[in-house]
Structure 1
Amino acid sequence: MKKTGIVLVLMLIVVSVLSACSSNGNNSKDSSGQAGASTEPSKDVVKLTFWGGVPPEAGPQEIVDNWNKANPNIQVTYVRYVNDDSGNLKLDTALISGQSVDIFANYTKPLLAKRVSSGSALDLSQFTDYGIDDKMGPGAKEWAVDDKYYAMPTKRNIHFVWMNKDALDEAGLPVPTDWTLADVEKYAKALRTDTRWGYAMFPFWRDIVSFDGSLAVQGYVKEDGTSNLGAPIVSEALQRQYDMMHTSQVSPPISLIETTKMNLIAEFLGNKLAMLNAGEWVFRDANNGKDYPRDFKVAFAPLPRITQEQDDFRYLGGLGDALAINAKSEHKEEAWQFLKWYADGGMLPMAKGGRIPASKDADQAKALELLLGDSKDKYDVESLQRILNNDLPTFQVTLPQEVIDIRREEFDKYYIKSQSLADTINNVVKRHNDYMKRK
């Protein structure tokens, strides 16, 4: 009987515990006796992951914080990937392997096209409540792939040459308003010192800025179906850039920049580089007086032509930061809601780092105010306004990423003196033709 009694007691304890657990569940009653009371949101919280190339502290974290505060049922987490070869590989691997990516930023058209062909980017035409062409203007079309939008361009691309205004004044040089690569070399020679380079450009766009604007007009392929990458303008640009690195030695060689991991922005802001071919993204560091203190004023010049007679020159620019939705995302509708909000003004916190919204419904006056911040006296505002207000013809690179990689491989051999200019051009043309035959 003792054993039977013990068993009965244990059974009663188990029943009591289960009953208590049940009374503390989601179907519990509150103190007023009403069923269903809970501290959880009324709907399940949707979690989105947004991948972008801008450091979180330069605006993206504030953006997602603003969204999350206003949208408790759709919470966004920002993941930063570095916008270079290894960073883009990291994003592509995440997209293909099914890692958590709902929204991702694309910074070049070839990389977007590659992601579209792999099935990673969602066709946005299924959403009919937002007119990308109307909001962003005709420049948006440059981001269409096969006449469809798989990503929404969200910012104005502004590329120009950052210049040390104090150094210009000391050398008696005016701020250029229309110049060539030959002019750049002349300026660089005058500004070069024992402790300061004259001019530099980022390795990641060394083969794009100079001549692709002309090829965008001429066509990358001739009428006979063969490569036009051997056009005279290409040789002219390569020769000019090579001379600045190795003949006049006013520019750091690309090999030096890459092997030493030279921070060109820090070099410029630290008065170790007089002119930097860059873009609006440098503002996020130029406005950071704590980490990059400087005692000189910055002026701005347009990108240089290759020759003065280059009447088909186009400026790298247009629109950028094209946001796409992962075709495999389980929350496409919610991601679309975030994209619309982001484009129409949600992205404004990044204006202080130079990212000006493209949407006509974004507050442009506020964007410009944030762009200069408290550092207005550190800039030659007149030359900046000249850049911002110029309605210059722009282009987006439309070559497939594989061809861009081919060009870079061959151009690098020339820049490090391992092959001649003639061999470089011949190899590029041959490999481009072989690529087109394969495709």
Structure 2
Amino acid sequence: MTRTISRRRLLAGAAGLASAAVLSACGKGDESGDAGTVTLNVWGGVPAESGPDALFAAFTAKHPNIKVKYTRYVNDDQGNLKLDTALQGGLDIDVVVSYARSALAKRVEAGLLTDLTDRLAGDTALKVFAPGAQPASNNFFDGKAYSAPASRSVETVLANKSLLDKAGVTVPADWTTADFRAIAKQLSGNGVYGCLIPPDLARQQIGPDFTYKAGGSESNFDHPAFRENFQLRLDMMAEKSAAPMTEIVAQKWDVFAQTPFLTGKVAMWISQPFVLRYIKDTKEYPHDFQTVLLPMPAPQKGVPFWNTGGYGDNVAITKKSRHQDAAFTLLRFWLGEGAAHMVPGGRLPSLPGGDTAKLAADLGGPDAAKLFDDTSLVSNLLTSDARIPVDTIQTAHAEISTIVNGLNQRVLLGNISLDQWARTAKEQCDAAIKKAG
């Protein structure tokens, strides 16, 4: 259940292919369907200057009868609560972007979003996001689609090139988790941790629906990959090659993960391309090193594994919106030709196709040569053949995420044992699934 884009397919596509397909999808797809001028209220987590301003200006230039008012919310627990309160309180919101699958699930379960299944299935370009598409590249709930992803994010290891060079480290192209740990040790010391956190071994090895057993009627937290994942992180924290959870919590690095990397306190940081906007913001985050983008290490040498990135920026239309047609016109533009405006902010298009050189230039920005190893930017991100898992089981997902996130912090802080984590996670999540079913 993946959407893998081959190097040849991505390089061969032209920037206009995806947008042309979107624009010609249906006979009246470019019309709002609403009489007169309407204003769409859009809520999203990306700062306006990092893409949305340019996106909506281009949209309104093409559709002068549809104005857009953008409200930015912070994509954290407090920000999502603010958004959910606004949605349930009847505030005038037409389009909303969800980032975590748990946040999207909550909004679907609360009946706040419009069913887009038929609209997506009937659209030439966007039908790849409809139920039944192979391979899948969208989240579905009881076989229905309530959003469409605007971005495809391959996860990479971002590394401080100066620290790599100083330690005389050469990263193998086919490196493994064992190599990652060994290199993290080499890069540690003198106030520097080799990495913020190590790879998610459970997600890498199990892939789609990794938190559920087959069929979705039971949680999967007794799978040995979860224990292996936590043991690796606990061991690396103990040897100080990974940042300790106590410091992550104290410094709020769980929310502002860019800070320790860009201040040189961690040498390697696993993340998705949206974080490149922080690297380019040298006023807020001044630094004098290049960032190298490395492929994710394999749990086992020569064994296929899943990338821990995903399809995201889930654009949805609220059920209460009085401008359903206009909102879908915006959604189609956003995922089609409008996607280019989000690239400088680190959001890569979800639809295949595109001029790789232009994507690299837009993504890296005018100071790309100074800030990034440009070869790695293309080879390990823009033309990556990484397998991205797409989850299909949503039963009690939001509640499971809350349970597991709380337990994860407790075991990493040393408040409970790994055995207690495994037992409690299994029991509580099984109960949540049973209740939801």
Q: Given the two structures, how large is their TM-score scaled by the length of structure 2?
A: 0.82
Percent identical among aligned pairs is 32
**Aligned-partner Cα distance in 2 for 1:215–1:164:** 29
Q: What is the identity, as a one-letter code, of the residue corresponding to 1:259?
A: A
Residues 179-209 of structure 1 deviation map (CA, whole Å, 9 limit, x = unaligned): 34333222122112323222114xxxx9x94
Shift of 1:64: 1.7
- 1:275 equivalent among 260, 268, 271: 268
Q: Summarize deviations over 1:347-383 as a string: whole Å, max 9, x none.
A: 3222112211122466655333201121221322222
2:431 match: 434
**Structure 2: any 5+ residue segments left out of the alignment?**
1-33
The answer to whether residue 333 in structure 2 is matched with residue 341 in structure 1 is yes
Q: CA offsets per residue over residues 30-56 of structure 1, 9 Å max, x none?
A: xxxxxxxxxxxx964311111111111
Mapped contact 2:153–2:273 kept (Cα < 8 A): yes
2:167/2:187 contact within 8 Å kept: yes
Q: Deviation string for 1:391-437 (max 9, x for gaps)?
A: 12211355512112111222221111111111111111111222222
- The match for 2:413 is 416
Structure 2 CA distance for aligned equivalents of residues 118 and 223 of structure 1: 23
RMSD over aligned Cα atoms? 2.7
- Hey, what does 2:240 align to over in structure 1? 249
Aligned pairs, how many? 391
Counterpart check, 1:56 vs 2:48: yes
Cα deviation per residue 1:12-67 (whole Å; 9 max; x = unaligned)?
xxxxxxxxxxxxxxxxxxxxxxxxxxxxxx96431111111111111112222232
Larger Rg: 1
Instruction: Spell out the pairing of 1:178-217 with structure 2 (5 A cutoff).
Output: 178-201=174-197, 209-216=200-207
Looking at structure 2, the residues matched to 227 and 131 of structure 1 have their Cα atoms a distance apart, in angstroms, of 35
Correspondent of 2:145 among 129, 136, 149: 149
Q: In the alignment, which residue of structure 2 is the partner of 1:391?
A: 385
Q: Distance in 2 between matches of 1:82 and 1:101?
A: 16
Instruction: Work out which structure has the larger RCO, using CA pairs closer than 8 Å and 6 or more positions apart in sequence.
Output: 2
Q: Is the 8 A contact 1:176 1:302 kept in 2?
A: no
Asked if the contact 1:132/1:140 (under 8 Å) is kept, the reply is no
CA distance, structure 2, for counterparts of residue 308 and residue 352 of structure 1: 34
- Aligned to 1:356, what secondary structure does the other structure show? coil
Partners of 1:118 and 1:281 in 2: CA distance: 28
Rounded to whole Å, the distance in 2 between the matches of 1:218 and 1:346 is 31
Q: Which amino acid aligns with 2:400?
A: V
* Cα shift at 1:286: 1.1
Q: Give distance in 2, aligned partners of 1:304 and 1:107.
A: 25
Q: Provide, for residues 229-284 of structure 1, a one-character-per-residue CA deviation record: whole Å limited to 9, x for no partner.
A: 11111101001111222x11222223322332243313212222211111101111
* Aligned with 1:236 (options 217, 222, 228): 228
The change in CA–CA distance for 1:194 and 1:92 in structure 2 (over 3 A counts) is same
| Shift in Å, 1:76 | 0.3
- Report whether the alignment pairs 1:315 with 2:307: yes
**1:14 matched residue in structure 2:** none
Moved more, 321-330 or 364-373: 364-373
**1:163 touches 1:276 (CA, 8 Å); kept in 2?**
yes
CA contact (8 A) 1:343 1:357 kept: yes
Letter in 2 for 1:77: K
Match of 1:37 in 2: none
Paired AA for residue 401 in structure 1: A
- Number of the residue aligned with 2:296: 303
Q: Identify if the C-alpha distance between structure 1 residues 432 and 56 changes in structure 2 by more than 3 Å, giving closer, same or farther.
A: same
Residue deviations 1:68-91 (CA, integer Å, cap 9, x gap): 344332110111111122222222
- Give, in whole Å, the separation in 1 of the partners of 2:81 and 2:41: 18
Inter-partner Cα distance in structure 1 for 2:420 and 2:302: 25
Shift of 1:315: 1.1
Matched residues in 1 for 2:314 and 2:209: separation? 26
**Aligned residue runs from structure 1 range 70-89, under 5 A:** 70-89=62-81
d(CA) in 1 for partners of 2:201 and 2:91? 37
Conserved? CA contact 2:275–2:346, under 8 Å: yes
On the 8 A contact 2:55/2:338 being kept in 1, the answer is yes
User: Helix, strand or coil for the counterpart of 1:143?
Assistant: coil
Equivalences for residues 349-364 of structure 1 within 5 A: 349-360=341-352
The Cα shift of 1:346 comes to 1.3
Q: Distance in 2 between matches of 1:78 and 1:140?
A: 30
1:261 maps to amino acid: K
- Counterpart-to-counterpart distance in 2, 1:349 and 1:370: 9
Moved more, 159-168 or 190-199: 190-199
Q: What CA distance in whole angstroms lies between the structure 2 residues aligned with 1:78 and 1:226? A: 40
Give 1:109 deviation, angstroms. Answer: 2.9
SS in 2 for 1:357: coil
1:48–1:331 contact (8 Å) kept in structure 2: yes
Following superposition, the deviation at residue 331 of structure 1 comes to 0.6
Q: Indicate which of 146, 149, 162 corresponds to 1:166.
A: 162
Structure 1 residue runs of 4 or more that deviate by more than 6 Å after TM superposition:
none
Within 2, Cα distance between the matches of 1:228 and 1:197? Answer: 31
Structure 1 runs not aligned, ≥5 long: 1-41
Instruction: State the alpha-carbon separation in 2 of the partners of residues 71 and 417 from structure 1.
Output: 56
TM-score of the pair, normalised by structure 1? 0.81
Give SS of 2:162's match. Answer: helix
Structure-1 residue corresponding to 2:31: none
Pairwise CA distance, 1:133: 3.1
Contact 2:108 2:146 in 1 (8 A): yes
Over 3 Å counting, the alpha-carbon distance change for 1:213 and 1:97 in structure 2 is farther
Partner of 1:16: none
Counterpart amino acid of residue 386 in structure 1: S
